[in-house]
DNA sequence: ATGCGCATGTAAGAGGTTACATGATTTT
DNA sequence: AAAATCATGTAACCTCTTACATGCGCAT
């Protein structure tokens, strides 16, 4: 049950559903994502529960724009979520399941290709995160030091994102080396 | 859509739903889990699709036991899944979302406690994986070398599991150090 | 006699994806 | 003229969790 809380977090500044979706796309991508079709009903429900209020104003292009603001109750609910400690996350790593059963496939070359494709994916993600870091350093030369609280904590999520991709990349390399050694040996 | 494929993977040897659930609990825990209430209908559906066949025999204790076996079509479907390359995994890390919004909480001591709780959790998981490794080494002193294919690929999943926990643990330590440095500075 | 392990399932609901529906403005 | 961006939503469907329902055998 994290999405409602994440919406409350994003709505520290008033935003429309459409703008929230853009925020997922730009800043939260590396740890969460939600579609508009999930965001709109979730906002409506939070409003019904008194966590948000909304105002509608005409937009330059397209239909009227509904802007949501967080209430005191909404902020309190967010704070409770944070002080309850780390949430439990269900473990579902389909890729590891594929590798677990890879012996059925019998072809070590196919297994190598699998890990090479995987590495390409992790490298692309790492580079995307490094690009964010690079931009950040342009704007703030002392990065990652001297950040304000509302920059520091997001930076910690960027940090682990990068470290995870590197861990995965090294593992892919190791896996390919070990598979190749098994072919020879 | 990974669970049906995972069931096909597990059913390299015939098993009942109950036994499959035990397998999730013992061997697959660190990357996937499924409840009995999800396993039973999934098996029924796979049988209807011709991926599995089942036979019922009386059990010593409790109700009749339904044992599922994989058909040729089932094995082919598993192979297709593996040769299609790494599956896409939705990114949903609630913990990182909590950290992203942690500046709202304003209390750095609470943030430290959050990371310390988190580290405890990662350490516990690492130790659980190390226990599996230890047992494995007892039975097979050359571990992690000289493994057969059907041990080697599962070992790769254990390997990344361990590396991920270590990466997370180091990050928690780093985070606490940095938060403490911010309090002083 | 109470609870645990074995063994099967169903039902309700939460969370999330994909497809559909509408329509104006701006860019190519 | 076509496609992308802005902007709102609904509906059908899939996945997974939690709660419920049943019942035998064995250990405490």
Residues in CB range of A163: below 8 A, 6 or more apart: B167, B170, B171
- Residues B39-86 have pLDDT tens digits of 999 999 999 999 999 999 887 666 789 999 999 999 999 999 999 999
Could you check: is the Cβ of residue B33 within 7 Å of any atom of nucleic acid strand D? yes
Compute the nearest-CA separation of B55 from chain A (Å): 24
Protein CA at B32 to nucleotide C1' at C2, angstroms: 34
**Which of B104, B154, B182 is facing A78, going by the closest CB pair?**
B104
**A110 contacts on B by Cβ (under 8 Å):** 82-83
Contacts of A9 in chain B (CB under 8 A): 97, 100-101, 104
Q: What is the pLDDT of residue A106?
A: 80
**CA B94 – CA A6 distance, rounded (Å):** 9
Cα separation of B27 and B142, whole Å? 21
Instruction: Write down the pLDDT at residue A137.
Output: 96
**CA B103, CA A155: separation in Å to the nearest integer?**
11
- Residues in CB range of B117: below 8 A, 6 or more apart: A85, A86
DSSP summary character for residue A70? E
What span, in angstroms and rounded, lies between the C-alpha atoms of B176 and A51? 32
Distance from CA of B60 to the nearest CA of A (A): 32
3-class SS of residue B58: coil
Question: Cβ(A65)–Cβ(A59) under 8 Å?
Answer: yes
Q: Are A99 and A131 in contact (CB under 8 A)?
A: no
User: Rounded distance, CA A114 to CA A95, Å?
Assistant: 10
Q: Going edge to edge, which strands form the sheet with A52-57?
A: A15-16, A65-70, A52-57
Tell if the CB–CB gap between B89 and A94 is shorter than 8 Å: yes
The rounded distance, in Å, linking the Cα atoms of B45 and A29 is 34
Spatial CA neighbour of A94 closest among B81, B130, B74: B81
Tracing tokens 């030369």 back to the chain, one arrives at: A141
Q: Please, what sign has the CA dihedral across residues A110, B163, B93, A11?
A: negative
Contacts of B119 in chain A (CB under 8 A): none
Nucleotides in chain C with any atom closer than 7 Å to protein CB: 5-12, 14-20, 22-26
- Residue that is written with structure tokens 């599991």 in the block: B161
CB B111 within 8 A of CB B179: yes
Q: How far is B58 from chain A (nearest CA, A)?
A: 30
Residue whose C-alpha is closest to residue B152's, from A170, A180, A118: A180
pTM above 0.85?
yes
Q: From residues 34-93 of B, which are strand D contacts by CB within 7 A? A: 34-35, 37-38, 60-63
Distance A61 CA to D1 C1' (A): 20
Give the pLDDT of chain A (185 residues) as one tens digit per residue. 899 999 999 999 999 999 999 999 999 999 999 999 999 999 999 999 999 999 998 776 667 899 999 999 999 999 999 999 999 999 999 999 999 999 999 899 999 999 999 999 999 999 999 999 999 999 999 999 999 999 999 999 999 999 999 999 999 999 999 999 999 87
- Is the N-terminal amide bond of B173 cis, ω within 30° of 0? no
Of all residues in chain A, the one with the smallest CA distance to B113 is A85
DSSP reduced 3-state for A105 = helix
Q: Which residue blocks in chain B are alpha helix, DSSP H? A: 3-10, 17-23, 36-48, 72-83, 94-100, 108-139, 149-184
Partner-chain residue, chosen from A83, A114, A148, that has the shortest CB–CB distance to B86:
A114
Residue A19 confidence (pLDDT): 97
Nucleotide nearest to A36 (CA to C1'): D9
Q: Of B28, B48, A35, B158, which is closest to residue B3 (Cα–Cα)?
A: B28
Measure the CA dihedral B39/B41/B44/B49, to 10°.
-100
Q: How far is the CA of A70 from the C1' of D12 (A)?
A: 31
Separation of alpha carbons A153 and A159, rounded Å: 10
Q: What is the pLDDT of residue B62?
A: 67
| pLDDT tens string B88-105 | 999 999 999 999 999 999
Nearest to A98 among B12, B81, B106 (CB): B81
- Phi and psi of B69, rounded to 5°? -125, 145
Nearest to B19 by CA among B41, B39, B44: B39
Spell out which residues of A between 64 and 93 contact strand D, using CB within 7 Å.
64-67, 90, 92
Distance A10 CA to C14 C1' (A): 22
Residue A4: per-residue pLDDT: 98
């Amino acid at each position: 049950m994290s999405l409602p809380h994440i919406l409350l977090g994003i709505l520290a500044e008033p935003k429309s559903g459409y703008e929230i979706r853009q925020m997922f796309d730009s800043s939260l991508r590396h740890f969460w994502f939600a579609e508009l079709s999930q965001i709109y009903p979730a906002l409506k429900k939070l409003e019904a529960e008194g966590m948000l209020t909304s105002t509608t104003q005409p937009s330059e292009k397209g239909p009227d724009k509904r802007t949501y603001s967080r209430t005191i109750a909404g902020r309190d609910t967010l704070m409770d979520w944070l002080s309850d400690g780390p949430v439990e996350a269900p473990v579902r790593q389909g890729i590891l399941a594929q590798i677990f059963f890879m012996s059925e496939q019998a072809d070590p070359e196919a297994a190598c290709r699998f890990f090479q494709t995987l590495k390409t994916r992790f490298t692309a993600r790492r580079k995307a995160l490094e690009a964010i870091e690079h931009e950040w350093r342009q704007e703030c030369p002392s990065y990652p030091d001297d950040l304000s609280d509302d920059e520091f904590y997001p930076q910690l999520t960027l940090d682990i994102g990068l470290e995870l991709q590197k861990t995965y990349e090294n593992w892919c390399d190791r896996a390919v080396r070990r598979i190749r050694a098994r072919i020879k040996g």
